[in-house]
């Protein structure tokens, strides 16, 4: 199985000549999940040659413009390109009312169905689960209801040794049972331990998305041990008071959260355009959490 994230936008509040507004595309075995949809997201999806027509699930963190203004155009484009599959949109707040009002005002009828899932921004809950991956909300704290999202693969089954299939003439049921942890019993009653028949699977992968929010100690259990954490760092440490007043996070705070949560790698984004040198962000973060990178538009991160 493969899991990767493409950064479509890494700026906060307003786009810049180098950075679009927040949006990430998660690819899990060629199934595509869009997370946030700032203005211009559909252009970024095309620019970076993504398979955006195969997006069936969109996760919105909150209803500020720099995270949702791209939805109006993207949803219209889906319709004009003949989309038929149902689109699922997850969001706190009244996004359904906002989008329905927009399309009614424009006199536009979409060719496909949208199923809205309003999430509770005050408590964690599993909002999506299939045979491969689970998505759980992460309660954040911003000026309006806001939630992060944690994507975790299901634990994989054991790998059976190919030579054992032939050696013991294993049938389909035997293979299924062994991959789930069972021993194998020969006709003469001899037990072949499972550990002799299998090898350990690749550990399940995980990704957590946290933007926008004040730094919150309480989210550590929800993001613990994820392979990749995206966390906003709107402000440098020198502007900690401003971060607190606007319900955002500083570089040092994001790095400390990554450290306490024992994450594999940290990627920072939602960078304020007030600073002339973006490299100051990554320097401050890496002083505390060395395995960190700064989001750049078009960056693809394999997990």
Domain boundary among 199, 222, 256: 199
**Based on the domain organization, do 246 and 278 belong to the same domain?**
yes
Domain that holds residue 258: 3-156+202-302
**Based on the domain organization, do 90 and 26 belong to the same domain?**
yes
Catalytic residue among 36, 66, 212, 239: 66
Tell me the CATH number at 213.
3.60.15.10
Angstrom distance (rounded) from CA 160 to CA 189 = 21
**Based on the domain organization, do 152 and 165 belong to the same domain?**
no
Digits of tens for pLDDT over the chain (303 positions)?
689 999 999 999 999 999 999 999 999 999 999 999 999 999 999 999 999 999 999 999 999 999 999 999 999 999 999 999 999 999 999 999 999 999 999 999 999 999 999 999 999 999 999 989 999 999 999 999 999 999 999 998 899 999 999 999 999 999 999 999 999 999 899 999 999 999 999 899 999 999 999 999 999 999 999 999 999 999 999 999 999 999 999 999 999 999 999 999 999 999 999 999 999 999 999 999 999 999 999 999 999
**Based on the domain organization, do 138 and 167 belong to the same domain?**
no
**Based on the domain organization, do 87 and 122 belong to the same domain?**
yes
**Based on the domain organization, do 151 and 163 belong to the same domain?**
no
**Based on the domain organization, do 108 and 176 belong to the same domain?**
no
**Based on the domain organization, do 194 and 208 belong to the same domain?**
no
* 195-203 contacts at long range (C-beta below 8 A, 24 or more positions apart): 196/164, 197/160, 197/161, 197/164, 197/168, 198/158, 198/159, 198/160, 198/161, 199/158, 199/159, 199/161, 200/158, 200/159, 201/155, 201/156, 201/157, 201/158, 201/159, 202/1, 202/156
**Based on the domain organization, do 256 and 124 belong to the same domain?**
yes
Domain boundary among 199, 231, 254: 199
3-state secondary structure of 75: helix
**Based on the domain organization, do 217 and 190 belong to the same domain?**
no
**Based on the domain organization, do 80 and 109 belong to the same domain?**
yes
What's the domain count of the chain?
2
Instruction: Indicate if 66 belongs to the active site.
Output: yes
Domain boundary among 199, 225, 255: 199
**Based on the domain organization, do 168 and 61 belong to the same domain?**
no
């Amino acid at each position: 199985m493969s899991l990767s994230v493409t950064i479509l936008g890494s700026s906060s509040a307003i786009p810049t000549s180098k950075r679009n507004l927040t949006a990430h595309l998660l690819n899990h075995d060629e199934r595509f999940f869009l997370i946030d949809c700032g203005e211009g997201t559909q252009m970024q999806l095309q620019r970076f040659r993504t398979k955006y027509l195969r997006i069936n699930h969109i996760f919105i963190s909150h209803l500020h413009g720099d995270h949702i203004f791209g939805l109006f155009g993207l949803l219209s484009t889906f319709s004009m390109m003949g989309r038929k599959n149902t689109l699922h949109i997850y969001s706190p707040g009244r996004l359904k009312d906002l989008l329905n009002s927009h399309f009614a005002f424009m006199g536009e009828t979409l060719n496909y169905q949208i199923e809205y899932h309003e999430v509770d921004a005050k408590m964690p809950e599993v909002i999506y689960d299939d045979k491969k991956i689970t998505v759980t909300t992460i309660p954040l704290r911003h000026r309006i209801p806001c939630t992060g999202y944690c994507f975790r693969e299901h634990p994989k089954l054991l790998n059976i040794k190919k030579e054992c299939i032939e050696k013991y003439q294993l049938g389909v049921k035997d293979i299924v049972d062994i991959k789930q942890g069972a021993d194998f019993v020969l006709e003469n009653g001899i037990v072949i331990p499972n550990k002799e028949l299998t090898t350990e699977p690749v550990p399940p992968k995980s990704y957590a998305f946290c933007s926008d929010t004040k730094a919150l100690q309480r989210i550590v259990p929800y993001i613990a041990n994820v392979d990749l954490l995206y966390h906003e760092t709107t402000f440098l440490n020198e502007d900690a008071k401003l971060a607190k007043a606007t319900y955002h996070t500083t570089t040092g705070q994001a790095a400390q959260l990554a450290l306490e949560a024992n994450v594999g790698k940290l990627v920072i984004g939602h960078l304020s355009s007030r600073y002339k040198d973006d490299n100051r962000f990554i320097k401050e973060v890496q002083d505390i959490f060395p395995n960190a990178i700064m989001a750049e538009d078009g960056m693809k991160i394999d997990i």
